[in-house]
Amino acid sequence: MGGTIARVEVALGVATLTAAVIAITAAAAKINLPAPLVLMVVGIAASFVPQIPQVHLSSEVVLLGLLPPLLYAAAIRSSVVDFRAQAWVIGLLSVGLVVLTALGVGLLVHLLLPVPFAVGAAIGAVVAPPDAVAATSVARRVGLPRRIVTILEGESLFNDATAITCLRVAILAMTADVSFGRIGLAFVVAAGGGVLIGLVVAFLAVRIRAAITSPRLDNALSLLLPFAAYLPAEELRFSGLNASGVIAVVTAGLIIGHKAPVVQTARSRLSERMNWATIQFLLENAVFLLIGLQARWIISGLRDSGAGVGLIIAVCAAVFGGVIVIRLIVVAGTRLLLLRASGTGAGSWAQTAIIGWAGMRGVVTLAVAFVLPQQTPYRSVLVFAAMVVTAGSLLLQGLTLPALARRAGLHGPDPREDALQAASVLESSSRAALERLEEVRRPTDAASTLDQLRERITRRTNEMWEHLGTGSDVETPAEEYRRLRLATLAAEREEMLRIRALGQVDHEVIDDVLYTLDVEESMLMVLEDQTGEVSESEPLLTRASLEGDCDHLQQAPHVVKPSGPGVCLDCQAEGLRWVHLRLCLTCGNIGCCDSSVGKHAARHFRDTGHPVMRSFEQGEKWRWCYLDEQLG
């Protein structure tokens, strides 16, 4: 009977935690505050409510239960190409900075408390790594440039491995002498073993996925993969040292995510993306609530520490201040290397300050603090210091980072710029599709079928170009199609539900048809959301140079005087309407875009051979070369 009651209490606790996460996250969005910070504050307050049972977050639960799926969810969404481009920066921050922080904080603790330096280095390793969840949650919400987000995300994915290795070495040094050779071997085993296991798991997963066509089986395998990488790595030992499960999971996740478009079916990718987005949402937000719920029992443990209030405050202040100051000094000292390697421009102190200030700690810091042996001197004080660093960094840096980013003049990705790049990429892919269509078509293929395919391919590209126009109240063809298709989809769904209610058609057949409608509707809604983001953003006034090797873009002017009254004269003569206007940079002719019925700008190019046009929409300065099909 007692076991049944315990299981009911556990189930009730998990359900309550999930409901609290959903409610608090929704409330945080309403009041426009970062959800991680609100969840942590609510957790701290709730921990002192007598009616709420104490929640003890053990290191095993975090390191074995929460960390692998969280790391994997972030890794499969990350770019191998971007990581490779920022490898030196990520390596410097995730290895060098963690080691220096561990040593620096260790020295401060050694000077304040009567403990060996190894104990100080252990707590230094605990508080050294910024958290992957905290970094990505806050950085993306703030709207930092993508390259900075990539650096912070890459650092926080790999630095846990360095911190855990440093902690293991420090704990070993508490009871025995540790040579520099032993320390170096520990890092080699952790990194090399983790990469090896991650590569093996990724290789096997890719091979298995290539043979799987069922989305259910594929997604079931996906849920297993983070643990399949983490657990063997942690069990792999060489000379008494562990490989890094963190590196194994991140390595496997990066490769598996990179290979997904090649080995997975479209339905599997859609299902996996939704599954991991849901898992990541629940776990990462639950983590911050759980951090706060530790406050009561960690603080109560200070009574038996033997340390006075003044000493506790001094240690916490030194550790918290140390992790901030050391990071700022290291990032500033390596500024040229950081920014040159990242491609963000070596002269920007603003970006250096953002990277230095964005060092929020999270659940890993609190979890590995519990790994400290029970006989560690002043253990309760050190665990409390870890909690102060976690809560303090989230509150101080998390709340001030948006203002610092605004003051520094840094902005996140511009939706208009994203739409411009997407349109350019789709232009190239559509050209490849049309060329392949000519290769695979058969003499017996119906002309109407070929025309329909060509229309669908070009319409998708035109929809993206239409996102860029501003200042027009005219409904674009894409908007018109989306409005009408959503209405007809709703009618189809209503009819399918009516047929389902009759019970005369198999349920699986109805489900399959409804699924196809849902996929089409979701695609239309994604386009609608993208259009909304573009329309709400600032005008696209400038762009980084994209001319590359296109001589026409390099030689063409950025502006010429229009040859007419600023309208498409051909449309007026033919009684047609236009969507967006384009300006020929050779003669100043104004013609309508390819989404317009007349397509007079493209016709002008074919008639005259003038290669470069520019958008004639308000606030836009992008150019396009018809010959090389390249942006500038």
Tell me whether residue 277 is in a domain.
yes
Tell me whether residue 19 is in a domain.
no
45 and 189 in a single domain? The answer is yes
Pick the range with the lowest mean pLDDT from 414-428, 473-487, 491-505, 511-525.
Answer: 414-428
Question: Parallel, antiparallel, or unpaired for β 630-631 and 623-625?
Answer: antiparallel
399: amino acid identity, one letter? L
Choice between 485 and 527, residue whose per-residue pLDDT is larger: 485
Tell me whether residue 201 is in a domain.
yes
CATH number at residue 598: 3.30.40.10
- Cα distance between residue 593 and residue 418, in whole Å: 19
529 and 584 in a single domain? The answer is no
| H or E element that contains 495 | helix 477-502
pLDDT at 339: 54
- Cα distance between residue 37 and residue 289, in whole Å: 9
pLDDT band at 541 (very low <50, low <70, confident <90, very high): very low
Per the listing, tokens 């991991």 go with 276
pLDDT at 535: 47
Look at residues 382, 413, 444 and tell me which one is the last residue of a structural domain: 413
Number of neighbouring beta carbons within 10 Å of residue 381 = 25
Per the listing, tokens 């089409």 go with 520
262 and 372 in a single domain? The answer is yes
255 and 346 in a single domain? The answer is yes
Tell me whether residue 1 is in a domain.
no
432 and 407 in a single domain? The answer is no
Backbone conformation region of residue 239, classed left if phi is above 0, alpha if psi is from -120 to 50, else beta? left
570 and 496 in a single domain? The answer is no
Choice between 236 and 136, residue whose per-residue pLDDT is larger: 236
178 and 301 in a single domain? The answer is yes
- pLDDT of 545 over the 50 cut: no
pLDDT at 186: 82
- pLDDT of 471 over the 70 cut: no
Choice between 299 and 146, residue whose per-residue pLDDT is larger: 299
- pLDDT of 473 over the 70 cut: no
- Cα distance between residue 247 and residue 199, in whole Å: 10
- pLDDT of 59 over the 80 cut: no
214 and 113 in a single domain? The answer is yes
- pLDDT of 347 over the 50 cut: no
- pLDDT of 344 over the 50 cut: no
Number of domains comprising the chain: 3
Cα pseudo-dihedral 49, 54, 55, 57, rounded to 10: 120
- pLDDT of 555 over the 50 cut: yes
What is the value of pTM for the model shown? 0.76
319-328, 393-402, 553-562, 595-604: which has the highest mean pLDDT?
319-328
Tell me whether residue 524 is in a domain.
yes
DSSP state letters, 555-605: HS-S----SSSSS-HHHHHHT---SSEEEETTT--EEE-TTSSS-HHHHHH
pLDDT band at 605 (very low <50, low <70, confident <90, very high): very high
- Cα distance between residue 346 and residue 564, in whole Å: 45
Tell me whether residue 137 is in a domain.
yes
114-123, 161-170, 471-480: which has the highest mean pLDDT?
114-123
What mean pLDDT is predicted for residues 357-386? 84
Tell me whether residue 363 is in a domain.
yes
pLDDT band at 417 (very low <50, low <70, confident <90, very high): low
Burial of 85-102, coded b for 16+ CB within 10 Å and e otherwise, reads bbeebbbbbbbebbbbbb
Burial of 459-487, coded b for 16+ CB within 10 Å and e otherwise, reads ebbbbbbbbbbbeeeeebbbbeebeeeee
User: Tens digits of per-residue pLDDT, 164-189?
Assistant: 888 888 888 887 777 777 778 888 88
Tell me whether residue 95 is in a domain.
yes
Query: For all residues of the chain together, what is the average pLDDT?
Result: 81
Domain that holds residue 251: 33-413
Pick the range with the lowest mean pLDDT from 22-26, 133-137, 311-315, 583-587.
Answer: 133-137
| H or E element that contains 101 | helix 98-112
500 and 614 in a single domain? The answer is no
95 and 219 in a single domain? The answer is yes
User: Tens digits of per-residue pLDDT, 421-462?
Assistant: 766 777 777 788 888 888 888 888 888 888 888 877 777 777
- C-alpha separations of 539 from 84, 316, 409, 469 in Å: 32, 47, 16, 10
Question: What is the tally of helices (H) and strands (E) in the chain?
Answer: 27, 7
- pLDDT of 125 over the 70 cut: yes
- pLDDT of 162 over the 70 cut: yes
CATH number at residue 256: 1.20.1530.20
503 and 564 in a single domain? The answer is no
Look at residues 536, 564, 596 and tell me which one is the last residue of a structural domain: 536
pLDDT at 474: 62
- pLDDT of 320 over the 90 cut: yes
- Cα distance between residue 202 and residue 322, in whole Å: 38
484 and 614 in a single domain? The answer is no
121-125, 286-290, 515-519: which has the highest mean pLDDT?
121-125
Quick check: 557 and 577 in contact, CB under 8 A?
A: no
146: amino acid identity, one letter? R
- pLDDT of 23 over the 90 cut: yes
Question: Parallel, antiparallel, or unpaired for β 623-625 and 581-584?
Answer: unpaired
